[in-house]
A and B are shown apart, each in its own frame.
Chain A
Amino acid sequence: MILGIASGKGGTGKTTVAVNLARAFGSPVQLLDCDVEEPNDHLFLRGPVREQEIITLPVPQVDASLCDACGECSRFCQYSAIVSLRTTPIVFPELCHGCGGCTLVCPQGAIRETERRIGVVETVESENVTLIQGRLDVGVALAPPLIRAAKSRMRRETPAILDAPPGTSCPVIAALRGTDLVALVTEPTPFGLHDLTLAVDMVRELGIPFGVVVNRVGIGDDRVHGFCAAEKIPVLLEIPDDRRIAEAYSIGSLIVDALPEYRGLFMSLIEKTMTLKCAEIGVSAGGYDENQA
């Protein structure tokens, strides 16, 4: 079972929900921090780094002695990463998405792949939680390959919670593909609602069952609840606007440790999601398909 935690608007509480769910789970669980541009789950689930792996992307390298400047590589590339103007090709590795197409279309076999480092995947053990996080190198603009690398380190037999990046862009799609269920975290404000509708469109397009978690109930209005009712989207959890939650977060404490009265809230979310019978929330289940991930 893989539960994805996503949002439209950033800063709504994905990490808060993800790390507290993981700790409250009790028995062994995997937590994937897929916000590879700024992983922060480790601030709350501290422990020794058991493993660190360097992740690379294959980029082209042209053998000038074999190249006849035909320009086929340049015509094929969708990313302007290899350019040939009747000259030996110029490569821009930072634009390359690693598709390998140029190496395949070159009639002279003049292009081979060389590895370009993009970041690391680290595994941290913290009590019942195995935290797997991707960390993109500074200056690298391409997140999805690192997200896929982190996800490939998941063991299928252990339940997993996946902390996605905010928004609805390519890194989020790469993170959420293959999850069984998504919880969209929002805040009950006009800004929260606006971005939630975008996230709902995205998750529907991906065909993954989903529900909504409303965080900081009390700060805004009831339009988010109205939207969920009208769209028949289950509200899986409501977290009240409690300053003590923010205080605990700001010093890297877990809510379920600092404010044990909130444990029940997170346990109820676990029951509704990780042990979910999907028919109960009225949508069809998507199973984990490693070909999609």
Chain B
Amino acid sequence: MKIAFTTSGETLDAPMDVRFGRAPKFLVYDTDKNTFEVIDNRQGVQAAQGAGIQAAETVARAGVKSLVTGHCGPKAFRVLAAAGITIYCAGATTVAAALKDFRAGKLAPAESVDDAWQ
């Protein structure tokens, strides 16, 4: 399955970005194939409004089932929930560390808008 990580970089050692809608990039990791791709989020960085909504659309179109980020806002939460994407709020500082925490079951899914905005 595909997991999206919010990041500013291009590799697994890249730092995690705590933001979702305004994150520079999404690293989408495929746990079945152990490969990943990086999706640019420039449109979200520059959007006047609806950055979280657009980011949710972007990751949904990429076939993502889980999102690992710092936090996300209520509009993004609504769209992600409708798309069936589970949100995990991670404290890890790199994508690799967040992936490790995810695989070890250390991350709890955000059940509500307040859980997702910490």
A interface, CB within 8 angstroms of B: 74, 79-81, 83, 85, 87, 90, 92, 95
Contact = CB atoms under 8 A, between A and B. Distances in A.
A54 to B, nearest CB: 25
B49 A80 contact: yes
Contacts, number: 33
B14 interface: no
Contact of A85 (B47, B49, B50, B82): B82
Interface stretch (B53-61, B98-106, B109-117): B53-61
Q: Would you list the 4 A-B pairs with minimal beta carbon distance, nearest first? A: A80-B50, A80-B53, A85-B83, A85-B60
A85 B79 CA distance: 8
Contacts of B78: 90
Interface string B72-92: 000100110011000000000
A228 B76 CA distance: 48
A79 B61 CA distance: 18
A92 B75 contact: yes
A275 B57 CA distance: 55
Nearest to B85: A85
Given A90-B78, A92-B75, 6 more contacts: A74-B57, A80-B49, A83-B53, A85-B56, A85-B61, A90-B79
A82 to B, nearest CB: 10
19 contacts: A74-B57, A79-B50, A80-B49, A80-B50, A80-B53, A80-B54, A83-B57, A85-B56, A85-B57, A85-B61, A85-B79, A87-B83, A90-B78, A90-B82, A92-B50, A92-B53, A92-B75, A95-B50, A95-B53
